[in-house]
């Protein structure tokens, strides 16, 4: 996975601690929703992001214990 889109997603989530839906992240960074979902899934696996399903919406949050930057490595 490329580090640049991941850094952008992390920055957006850091600015929105209330959580964002995948479609909102995609709109803010001007990227396809499915592509955003792929990168967010990688961040979930890396234990950087958590997803909370509320109804039909999946809200994404940056994990509180993730305070450092992302350098493109797992």
pLDDT of residue 3: 81
CATH number for the domain running over 3-62:
1.10.10.10
Three-class DSSP category at 1: coil
Average pLDDT score over residue span 8-20: 95
**CB 5, CB 31: distance < 8 Å:** yes
Q: Greater confidence, 70 or 29?
A: 29
pLDDT of residue 68: 56
**CB 33, CB 26: distance < 8 Å:** yes
pLDDT of residue 1: 59
pLDDT digits over 20-49, tens only? Answer: 999 999 999 999 999 999 999 999 999 999
Average pLDDT score over residue span 54-69: 83
């Amino acid at each position: 996975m490329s580090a640049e889109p991941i850094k952008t997603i992390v920055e957006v989530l850091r600015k929105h601690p209330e959580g964002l839906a995948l479609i909102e992240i995609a709109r803010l960074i001007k990227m396809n929703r499915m592509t955003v979902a792929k990168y967010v899934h990688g961040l979930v696996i890396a234990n950087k992001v958590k997803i909370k399903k509320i109804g039909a919406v999946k809200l994404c949050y940056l994990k509180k214990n993730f305070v450092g930057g992302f350098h493109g490595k797992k």
